Amino acid sequence: MSPTVYLIQGALSAAVLYPIAGSKAIIFGLSVVLIDIDHFIEYYTYIRRLDIKGMLKYHEWQLNNLEGRLWLNLFHHLFDEIQLIKLGKPFVRAFSVAEYFIRKKYYYTPLNEVGVRTGKNSS
């Protein structure tokens, strides 16, 4: 999804809930926008860029290149896992921080080894 779609979903959901939840609806709207923050953290960790559109392209690339991948799943695990099951790769994401570091030590392939360029000038 594009950043605009996230913002529209967040604003609309907050507006719909505001008559019921009051100012707490704003927190819900922000959570809709920030639910994919784990993807952005991962993107920044490897690519070192603060670029939301780049993060969305990167995430799309990841979904199309699941072989040999390992991700740490911090938020909205159920939704990501359902998507990975549909793609036939249910074990791409670690189910805990401990599992992530154990699997990373013995299994993980860094992004620069699978063709993702890093640095400020990369695209």
Q: For 77-107, how does the pLDDT look when each residue is reduced to its tens digit (9 = 90+)? A: 777 788 888 888 888 877 777 887 887 777 6
In three-state form (DSSP H/G/I as H, E/B as E, the rest C), the secondary structure along the chain is: CCHHHHHHHHHHHHHHHHHHHCCHHHHHHHHHHHCCHHHHHHHHHHHCCCCHHHHHHHHHHHHHCCCCCCEECCCCHHHHHHHHHHCCCCCCEECCHHHHHHHHHHCCCCHHHCCCCCCCCCC
Say how far apart CA 22 and CA 19 lie, in whole Å. 6
pLDDT digits (tens, 9 = 90+) for 43-75: 888 888 888 888 888 888 887 887 777 776 667
Q: Enter the pTM of the model.
A: 0.52
